[in-house]
Structure 1
Amino acid sequence: MTSQAHVSTPSTELAPPIRLSVWNWLRTQLFSSPFNTLLTILSVWLLFATVPAMVDWFLISSTVTAKTSQECREVTGACWSMIVEKHRLILFGVYPYEEQWRPLLATLILLGVIILSGVRRFWNISLLFLWIAALSSVAVLMWGGVFGLTYVENSRWGGLPLTLILSTFGIALAFPLGVLLALGRRSKMPAIKTLCVVYIELIRGVPLISLLFMSAVMLPLFLPEGITIDKLLRAQVAIILFAAAYMAETVRGGLQAIPKGQFEGADSLGLTYWQQMRLIVLPQALKIVIPPLVGLFIALFKDTSLVVIIGIFDLTQAAKAALVDQAWRGFSVEVYIFISAIYFLFCYSMSKYSQSLEKRLATEHQR
């Protein structure tokens, strides 16, 4: 009779994880060395010195019910009553007061189509028609002159709607131009490559302020007599040309990161140059450069405030106009905090969306 042998195997149970106590975590993260200990103490001191005072100024001692600036000066905190009193001037500039529902509706339409553009299931040809309809509606609302709306010249546009219009058109038109410039710089045709290189290096070699000055002051001097171009349009063109040069270099970096085998594989399939770019190369290149591209979008959104130097009533200029009122002088801090919060909200939203887009488009194996 045979007996069955019992083979002992080593235990495969994992050791329980080591749980650090609160003190061990503090010691390893905040007090691991004399230098880190000093930084921790200084940081805690700075927080105790600033946070309570800021909370008191922003919330506890602030007021939103004061009727005059004199009442505001009697409180020790922020005077948010200034924002309540001047919010329409800050948000809509010198647009006719009784017609300010129109820029408000135009802003909501722009924000709505931008949000829908971030939803992946809308990434089809219908999105193009949606943008055309939205931009047409914005133009009708802002200009008027049709459907019983009073005509308002664009010299009276201002505030948040104008900032959104400049940044939206700037991003929407600079992006495809930047892609074409990047492809042109990598072209094997010397004439096209030279033109793209000269344009990119020339535009990137000067600040945006100089381009805005040239569009406002120099460009009219070169136009034939009797022909004028609107100041807002000139500023918009300058912003587009400036942003496209930087986007071109960013996209070119993504194109250079694509392995040569992708191009060879596309050639083996018999695809034309534009089919290769549209179906294989550009989708991969743009996915690689999402972070720097979004950084450029955020910078462009903030750089629209520079149009103030040529007299365009953007959000920053509208805030400065609100401070001119003698009855509310001395509360510029509250006004600039308010518009800073608006800029931060838009820029932070773009940043968070880019992070979520990177995760959705990630195809590499996680390590």
Structure 2
Amino acid sequence: MTDQSTNSVAFVADGNIPQSPPPARETGAIKWVRANLFSSWMNGILTVAALLIIYKLLSDALPWIWNGVWTTSSLSECREVLQGKTGACFSVLSERWNQLLFGFKYPTDQYWRPTLAFVLLFVAAAPVLFFDLPRKLLAFTALYPFLAFWLIWGGTILAPIVALLGVAAAAYVFQTYGKASFAIGFFGAIAAAFAVWIIGGKLIPDGASDNALLQAVPSRDLGGFMLNMMLGVTCVSLSVPLGIALALGRQSNMPLIKWICVIFIEFVRGVPLITLLFVASVMLSYFFPPDSTVDLFLRVVIMITMFSAAYIAEVIRGGLAALPKGQYEAADSLGLDYAQAMRLIILPQALKISIPGIVNVAVGLFKDTTLVSVISMFDLVGMIRGPILASTEWSGVYWELLGAAAVLFFIVCYGISQYSQWLERRLATDHR
């Protein structure tokens, strides 16, 4: 009886069984490969085909890069060194790097000036791009455009000072009268800026550039990748606020302002950029006073800014349309006027929605700066197509030069894209 009662008692576990490791096919690299590369027979075929293509490209490209020559002074010397082997002639980059970056007319002893302006660009952009930094740094951001202008172009320092005073006068007029009437403040600010610039320009003596601290460099001597960076940074910085104004004007209740914005946006979006560049090169100077000599760089900046502002306006209009009507009603319930509602409630949300579209326009605009080569501005592509390939030493070198240009543009555009993704994650507060 005792044995039977003992055997009939159920077993009760007094501890946990150690966990078994997952199957090898369901963890680590094997799982990733099965889930992403060979999840089905079709994906497996595409993966194998892609690997074969990558192998073919690398098997041809890597020896060409690995056997590259960097120390010769001409294409013929490169071929003599290679002796029939496959290899790149990177010597064109080591010999003409200064022309690729700064153009062929910028003074060689003044390369430190655009280089310093480029380094200071990151310092000036940091408080705008990363808003956790102290707001006091925005003072340098406001001064940077005038400092960079003086560093790159040189000449008398009175010119950027007069420009700064004009902008300061415009800001003061807008702050004073913009609260009573946005239109009066806006047009009054423009009038104040032009008045200061005209009066200040007449007060600058004619020989002021002769005794300047920095050697004056005319715009026609600018070139290389420096020109692409200047056009890209300047036009993007100007087109974003102009695009916001156009988007708001297109949604305005005032018919005159609305139709002016609509006609401007639709006309600019319907015209190719290369056509506008030809207009900037040939016709735009006729719209200025007869005695004024408007620089070609300024005319190109005006046209590219107008072109990109029209596209940014449509992107921001989409962001404004995506907001629910309750946001506008909430602003009205708080007693905010139009300017306060847009600045504090509407635009921050609309701009957050519009980040991908704005970045897409900015990246496209930066790449489109290469079109200025068709109007005889020697940017990076213009330098490659013109002076470098036209020289007898490097006639026939294409892949090395165009590959270097592609790498430079990829670095800048990829950096912009990564920053936009970081900004979207940083502003993703909807579900917090």
**Contact in 1 for aligned 2:73/2:91 (Cα 8 Å):** yes
Shift of 1:169: 1.3
Kept in 2, the 8 Å contact 1:64–1:80? The answer is yes
Tell me what 1:4 maps to: none
Superposed CA offset, 1:306-358 (max 9, x none): 11111112222123322222112222211111111111000000000111111
2:54 to 47, 56, 59: 47
**Partner of residue 113, structure 2:** 102
Counterpart pick for 2:77 among 71, 75, 78? 71
Q: Is the 8 A contact 2:127 2:134 kept in 1?
A: no
- Structure 1 residue 223: Cα displacement: 4.3
C-alpha distance in structure 1 between counterparts of 2:109 and 2:140, whole Å: 29
- Cα shift at 1:125: 6.6
The Cα shift of 1:26 comes to 4.6
Which sits farther off after the overlay, 46-55 or 208-217? 46-55
* Equivalent residue, structure 1, for 2:389: 323
Deviations 1:157-210 (A, max 9, x none): 111222121111101111111001111111111111111111111110111111
Structure 2 Cα separation of the partners of residues 114 and 167 of structure 1? 14
Query: Equivalent residue for 1:358?
Result: 424
In the alignment, residue 89 of structure 2 is paired with which amino acid? C
The CA distance in 2 between the partners of 1:122 and 1:161, in whole Å, is 28
Q: Which runs of 5+ in 1 are unaligned?
A: 1-12
TM-score (structure 1 length as normaliser): 0.89
Using a 3 Å threshold, how does the CA distance of structure 1 residues 276 and 224 change in structure 2: closer, same or farther?
Answer: closer
Larger radius of gyration, structure 1 or 2?
A: 2
1:216 is aligned to 2:227: no
- Percent identity between the two aligned chains: 42
Aligned to 2:250: 185
Q: 8 Å contact 1:89–1:318 — kept in the other structure?
A: yes
Equivalence for 1:5: none
1:19: Cα distance to partner? 4.6
Matches within 5 A, 1:119-158: 119-122=130-133, 124=135, 126-127=137-138, 129-146=139-156, 147-158=212-223
Instruction: Give the TM-score normalised by the residue count of structure 2.
Output: 0.76
1:116 to 1:278, Cα distance in 2 relative to 1, 3 A: closer
Aligned length: 352
Higher RCO (Cα < 8 Å, 6 or more apart): 1
Amino acid at match of 1:52: S
Q: 1:114 aligns with which of 125, 135, 140?
A: 125
- Higher deviation after alignment, 247-256 or 329-338: 329-338
Question: 100, 123, 142: which one pairs with 1:90?
Answer: 100
CA pair 28-243 structure 1, distance change in 2 beyond 3 A:
closer
* Residue 108 (structure 1) shift: 2.0
Q: 2:324 aligns with which of 227, 251, 259?
A: 259
Structure 2 Cα separation of the partners of residues 256 and 20 of structure 1 = 51
Structure 1 range deviating more: 133-142 or 87-96: 133-142
Secondary structure (helix, strand or coil) at the match of 1:120 reads coil
Shift, 1:126, TM fit:
4.4
Structure 2 unaligned spans of 5+: 1-16, 157-211
Instruction: Measure, in 2, the Cα distance between the counterparts of 1:171 and 1:67.
Output: 38
Cα offset, 1:121, TM superposition: 2.5
